[in-house]
Amino acid sequence: MTATPYASDTPPEETVDTVVIGGGAAGLNGALMLARSRRSVVVIDSATPRNAPAEAVHGSIVLDGTPPAELLARGREQVRGYGGRIVLGDGRTVTARRLLVATGLRDVLPDVPGLAEHWGRTVVHCPYCHGWEVRDEPIGVLATSAASVHHALLFRQLTEDLTYFTHGTSLDEDTRARFTARGIPVVETPVREVVDDENGALAGVRLADGRVVARRVLAVATRMLARTEGLAGLQLPMEALPGGMGRRFASGTAGTTEVPGVWVAGNATDLSAQVGAAAAAGAAGAHINAMLATADTDAALAAAQGETSAP
């Protein structure tokens, strides 16, 4: 994925109140709340948003149908409107009193040739984000874990033509009975590759025995991993999701962590959060501002009493 072409602000030389790592919905909303509180804030962005392949944001009132690039561009403009700065990560140094980690996550797809090329369009993971757009299509659920069973029932709500590919996973008899009751055929033979039509559109899957099962859409429960690049030095605690579905940063109320002065927000700690929920989690910025206000007051009191206090 190439970097989104937008201008980077000049990073400040002085220490700022907060650095936000991540320029997605959570990071930008956190920065917005801080900037509106007259805090100096810098957002460091990799310009590689998770939802870049998607045509539009869905499942978020008012924002429904908005292209992701447009949503982020408007967010950056609003943060800058209150004095915040957006800096593309390029190795320069910024010093801050507090840190908000909003790096998001990356989706790990099964190692099936041809699958990644259709990711975010006809290879989808979320029935609420993409379901309406693929309704009534022949859909295949490519199983990755026990979560795929629930996935199948959600996508069955959207189409009468759903096929479940176990792809090496197992099904108990109760689940098989439920699938039969809902008219969901099960294919046990492993999937070897994705097949395209003459126009490059997804046409189906080729099985290990050579058969091709026609499908226009594949639903895949990805393994979701919080993006941790460059953050090892913080030693932020992480937690594994049940069923091997992924790993996230551990967090407490308002995104607090065990590391003093560091908060986390959005998909980096809530892997299932959609855009609206991720943005709302950026309210961690309000908690950071409250903590800074307390620190400023303590410092002012100490100065008045001829003492020193940590920033």
Q: pLDDT, tens digit, for every residue of 96-111? A: 999 999 999 999 999 9
With bands split at pLDDT 50, 70 and 90, how would you rate the model's confidence at 310? low
pLDDT on residue 241: 85
Q: Going by CATH, does the domain composed of 16-107+223-304 fall within 3.50.50.60?
A: yes
Q: Per-residue pLDDT for 1 more than 50?
A: no
The model's pLDDT over 219-242, given as tens digits with 9 standing for 90+, comes to: 999 999 999 999 999 999 999 988
pLDDT on residue 291: 97
Full-model pTM: 0.92
pLDDT on residue 59: 84
When the pLDDT of each residue in the chain is averaged and rounded to a whole number, the result is 93
Bridge partners (DSSP) listed for residue 124: 219
What is 110-220's CATH number? 3.50.50.60
Residue type, position 256, single letter: T
User: Encoding tokens for residue 111?
Assistant: 């190692």
Give me Rg for the CA atoms of the chain. 23
Residue type, position 16, single letter: V
DSSP 90: S
Q: Per-residue pLDDT for 178 more than 70?
A: yes
CA pair distance 159, 260, nearest whole angstrom: 49
DSSP 209: T
In contact, 174 and 180? CB cutoff 8 Å:
no
Could you tell me the sign of the dihedral formed by the alpha carbons of 69, 87, 23, 232, in that order? positive
The model's pLDDT over 15-54, given as tens digits with 9 standing for 90+, comes to: 999 999 999 999 999 999 999 999 999 999 988 888 888 8
Among 86-95, 187-196, 280-289, which is the least confidently predicted range?
A: 86-95
CATH code 3.50.50.60 region(s) in the chain: 16-107+223-304, 110-220
Which one, of 112, 123, 292, lies nearest residue 207 by Cα? 112
The model's pLDDT over 198-219, given as tens digits with 9 standing for 90+, comes to: 999 999 999 999 999 999 999 9
Cα distances (Å, whole numbers) of residue 58 to 63, 236, 303:
7, 31, 51
How many other CB atoms are found less than 10 A from the CB of residue 230?
12
Q: How far is C-alpha 85 from the geometric centre of its chain's CA atoms?
A: 22
CA pair distance 130, 86, nearest whole angstrom: 30
